[in-house]
């Protein structure tokens, strides 16, 4: 009998219960016990839902109140020593100190989980790092699951992936820590075995990356150390192919291996040809990263030969954890009725697994009605006239060589821009958004519910824009923003005004901690029926004599942060988005907005996980950005923003985007990213973030002054901007004004020193 299991379930809750519980706790409105109760209720609800879906094994340990990598550090007792927390005495409140910072310590660095929009907290290692297993962090939820009658499969992040995803804070070799780390894993796995656990899922997603030879060579001895002491180990890989690691995969002393058959379907034939006779093969056949309904008829045809070959050693699962998709499509009573049958969220994906197993175990006739419904939905999407727009296709085909190039090189543009803008040395700005207060959210909700008419809503948003402009003027910022009060999300706002998108009401996914996003569903060809931001930017500019930035989201980020159609190359979809944004850029310029920021925080996120595939992606991604921006005059200044990514290895591509000013996140990494920009000799202007907006902590003037001096050591003052590291929508006004005041004070002090040396 074919078995089915899951690698992980969304944590936030169908109604974002975890988000709201976290934020109540952080505001001091709820106790830690109340937060723990919500977390426990969610875990149990999700386990029971998976049990009801017929899963043979249900993941335990995938739930995290903030981040699963952070949970792993507490489980192994590998906490950064700078926080002064004893792992043996750590409480449920302590992870939030590491995640959000303390009065004396900045938060741990955060970066993207592979090429997804989920952010994890980066482990901090040094040559003195020790490990002290604290099994209670896993044993307690395991006991909860078992009390519910759930067939529990504990989930662990594997040792080599944990080390690879971390950073050495003293330059030491992380791999040198492996023996001590394996001792900790061995102790933990032996404890689980003593508890009667049958299977443990141990995730090693970095096995699909371009690892150095010594890291690859460490896998076999590492698992030879662990396997004899452990329950049966299911080593899970995902997001990339491991076909070129065939010999290693076959030689690993584990009881089973999970392969991603959605992102890398070609690897299955290569690896399964002589699959070891004593090993389970888990195939991730349901897409854990996107929301399109699976073609069950096609999957059954593909899986039937494997089922005949492997029998009960064939397990089926989603391609990866369902963390990356919304919880339940059944809630979406207002979703476009034509598009809704094309979709599947986490709950529906589990049902797809159940149907596949039933069809393979009992025959296709046992699910004949479900297969007919699936065939109808797949055909409906394939033939819908809303998916293809001939005018968009014609415009895309008409793009000419040079359409993605500015009129002049950066040095000439910089002169024209300074003549127009007359900015001081070290100009100051923010990244775009200001606090989304309860008044703003309530007004938007009332307008969407029809309780507030459009004129009243617009007046309310104009009042918020006026407030933001006046506060920026009082602070003394040089280039202002309108604050984006009218925007629900930096991608959703634009998707709502572009053809080719539909939207959910409850389609939330976790980005980090309590931060959730509701990705638009990009199902068809993209075009812009009318201007999207011009009226708001023109109103804001009318309030001040200082330059006002027009704020847009770039084509690559809209692509990456949407659930994107899978029926054409992503490059084509991105170019469609670029043309729509190009129209908006030109309308802003024609309306007198001469500073325009086209945010691309997801630029590196879209990078393929294997180096061999980078060049193609970087070519079309940089081309799409330039295509969106290149139509403007030299005197119009184009900004872009990128955050929480490692850029060291793609700086030529970032330079090829040819933005006049790039703002980047550097505060959590203590400006270390700037070293790469200096070594590369990045040619245009840079605004390194001088403080971390993702933490409520307000850095001192002295801290920001030191960061500015670090920046000046590698970036000429004439090309250095000063700004926070990201938008301020998640902060309150008190935090925002205090931090910006310190930023402006630090800037004035550093400017004075520069003036004295001239």
Judged by DSSP in three states, 488 sits in coil
Give the residue carrying structure tokens 């963390």. 323
Tens of pLDDT along 182-219? 999 999 999 999 999 999 999 999 999 999 999 999 99
Neighbours of 360 (CB within 10 A): 23
Q: Please give the average per-residue pLDDT across 514-530, as a whole number.
A: 96
In this predicted structure, what is the pLDDT of residue 668? 58
Per-residue burial over 523-557, b if 16 or more Cβ lie within 10 Å, else e, is bbbbbbeebbbbebbbbbbebeebbbbbbbbbbbb
Q: Mind giving me the DSSP string for 502-530?
A: E--SS--EEEETTEEE---EEEEEEE-SS
> What percent of the chain stands above pLDDT 70?
98
Q: Please give the average per-residue pLDDT across 499-510, as a whole number.
A: 96
Token output for 408:
């002049």
Tens of pLDDT along 220-270? 999 999 999 999 999 999 999 999 999 999 999 999 999 999 999 999 999
498 — pLDDT class (breaks 50, 70, 90): very high
Cα separation, 107 vs 409, in Å, equals 39
Q: For residue 515, what are the β-bridge partners?
A: 512
585 — pLDDT class (breaks 50, 70, 90): very high
With a CB cutoff of 8 Å and minimum separation 6, the contacts of 163 are 123, 125, 174, 175, 177, 178, 181
In this predicted structure, what is the pLDDT of residue 533? 97
Judged by DSSP in three states, 3 sits in strand
Q: Is the pLDDT of residue 304 over 70?
A: yes
In this predicted structure, what is the pLDDT of residue 697? 84
Q: Is the pLDDT of residue 335 over 50?
A: yes
Q: Is the pLDDT of residue 420 over 80?
A: yes
Q: Please give the average per-residue pLDDT across 701-727, as a whole number.
A: 92
| CA distances for 608 relative to 262, 538, 621, 650, 656, angstroms | 15, 39, 12, 12, 18
Tens of pLDDT along 220-229? 999 999 999 9
Average confidence score pLDDT of the chain: 95
In this predicted structure, what is the pLDDT of residue 758? 43
Percentages of the chain per state (helix, strand, coil), in multiples of 5: 50, 15, 40
670 — pLDDT class (breaks 50, 70, 90): low
Q: Is the pLDDT of residue 757 over 60?
A: no
CA 421 to centroid of chain Cα atoms = 35
Give the residue carrying structure tokens 């104009």. 462
Token output for 389:
């727009």
Phi, psi values for residue 688, rounded to 5°: -75, 130
In this predicted structure, what is the pLDDT of residue 423? 96
Tens of pLDDT along 16-40? 999 999 999 999 999 999 999 999 9
> What percent of the chain stands above pLDDT 90?
89
Cα separation, 711 vs 678, in Å, equals 10
Q: Is the pLDDT of residue 75 over 90?
A: yes
675 — pLDDT class (breaks 50, 70, 90): confident
Q: Is the pLDDT of residue 608 over 60?
A: yes
Q: Please give the average per-residue pLDDT across 542-553, as a whole number.
A: 97
Cα separation, 723 vs 739, in Å, equals 11
Task: Catalogue the active-site residues.
Answer: 694
| CA distances for 457 relative to 180, 440, 466, 494, 722, angstroms | 60, 10, 14, 18, 33
């Amino acid at each position: 009998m074919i078995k089915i299991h899951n690698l992980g379930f969304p944590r936030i809750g169908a109604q974002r219960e975890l988000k709201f519980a976290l934020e109540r706790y952080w505001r001091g409105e709820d106790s830690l016990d109340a937060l723990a109760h919500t977390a426990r209720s969610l875990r149990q609800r999700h386990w029971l839902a998976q049990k009801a879906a017929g899963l043979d094994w249900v993941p335990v340990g995938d739930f995290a109140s903030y981040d699963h990598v952070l949970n792993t550090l507490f489980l192994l007792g590998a906490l950064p020593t700078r926080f002064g927390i004893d792992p043996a005495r750590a409480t449920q409140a302590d992870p939030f100190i590491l995640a959000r910072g303390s009065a004396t310590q900045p938060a741990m660095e955060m970066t993207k989980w592979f090429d997804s929009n989920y952010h994890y907290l980066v482990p901090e290692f040094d040559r003195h790092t020790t490990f002290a297993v604290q099994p209670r962090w896993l044993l307690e939820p395991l006991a909860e699951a078992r009390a519910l009658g759930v067939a529990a499969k504990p989930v662990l992040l594997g040792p080599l992936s944990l080390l690879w995803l971390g950073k050495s804070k003293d330059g030491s070799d992380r791999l040198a820590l492996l023996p001590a780390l394996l001792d900790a894993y061995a102790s933990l796995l032996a404890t689980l075995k003593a508890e009667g656990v049958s299977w443990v899922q141990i995730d090693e997603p970095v096995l699909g990356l371009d690892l150095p030879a010594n890291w690859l060579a460490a896998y076999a001895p590492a698992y030879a150390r662990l396997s004899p002491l452990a329950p049966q180990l299911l080593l899970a890989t995902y997001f990339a192919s491991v076909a070129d690691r065939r010999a290693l995969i076959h030689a690993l002393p584990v009881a089973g291996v999970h392969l991603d058959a959605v992102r890398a379907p070609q690897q299955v034939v290569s690896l399964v040809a002589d699959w070891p006779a004593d090993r389970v093969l888990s195939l991730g056949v349901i897409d854990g990263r996107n929301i399109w309904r699976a073609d069950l008829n096609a999957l059954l045809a593909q899986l039937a030969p494997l089922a005949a070959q492997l029998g009960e050693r064939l397990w089926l699962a989603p391609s990866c954890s369902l963390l990356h998709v919304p919880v339940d499509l059944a809630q979406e009573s207002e979703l476009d009725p034509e598009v809704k049958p094309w979709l599947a969220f986490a709950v529906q994906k589990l049902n797809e697994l159940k149907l596949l197993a039933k069809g393979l175990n009992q025959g296709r006739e046992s699910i004949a009605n479900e297969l007919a419904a699936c065939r109808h939905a797949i055909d409906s999407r394939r033939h819908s006239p809303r998916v293809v727009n001939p005018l968009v296709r014609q415009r895309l085909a008409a793009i000419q060589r040079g359409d993605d190039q500015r009129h002049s090189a950066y040095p000439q543009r910089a002169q024209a821009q300074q003549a127009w803008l007359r900015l001081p040395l070290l100009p100051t700005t923010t990244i775009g958004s200001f606090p989304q207060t309860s008044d703003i959210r309530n007004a938007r909700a009332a307008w969407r519910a029809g309780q507030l008419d459009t004129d009243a809503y617009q007046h309310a948003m104009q009042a918020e824009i006026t407030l933001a402009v006046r506060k920026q003027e009082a602070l003394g910022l040089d280039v202002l923003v309108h604050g984006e009060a009218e925007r629900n999300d930096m991608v959703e706002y634009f998707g709502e005004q572009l053809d080719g998108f539909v939207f959910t009401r409850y389609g939330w996914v976790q980005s980090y901690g309590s931060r959730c996003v509701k990705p638009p569903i990009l199902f068809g060809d993209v075009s812009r029926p009318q201007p999207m931001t011009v009226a708001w930017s023109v109103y804001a500019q009318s309030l001040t004599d200082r330059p006002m930035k027009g704020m847009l989201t770039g084509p690559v980020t809209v692509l990456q942060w949407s659930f994107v159609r899978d029926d054409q190359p992503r490059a084509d979809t991105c170019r469609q988005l670029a043309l729509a944004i190009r129209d908006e850029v030109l309308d802003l310029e024609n309306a007198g907005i001469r500073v325009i920021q086209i945010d691309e925080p997801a630029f590196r996120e879209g990078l393929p996980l294997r180096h061999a595939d980078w060049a193609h992606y970087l070519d079309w991604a940089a081309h799409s950005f330039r295509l969106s921006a290149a139509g403007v005059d030299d005197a119009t200044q184009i900004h872009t923003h990128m955050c929480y990514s490692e850029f060291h290895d793609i700086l030529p591509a970032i330079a090829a985007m040819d933005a006049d000013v790039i703002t980047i996140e550097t505060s959590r990494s203590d400006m270390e990213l700037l070293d790469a920009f200096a070594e590369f000799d990045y040619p245009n202007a840079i605004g390194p973030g001088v403080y971390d907006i993702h933490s409520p902590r307000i850095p001192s003037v002295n801290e920001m002054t030191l960061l500015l001096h670090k920046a000046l050591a590698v970036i000429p003052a004439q090309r250095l901007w000063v700004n926070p590291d990201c938008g301020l929508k998640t902060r309150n006004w008190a935090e925002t004004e205090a931090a910006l005041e310190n930023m402006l004070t630090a800037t004035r002090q550093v400017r004075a020193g520069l003036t004295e040396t001239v």
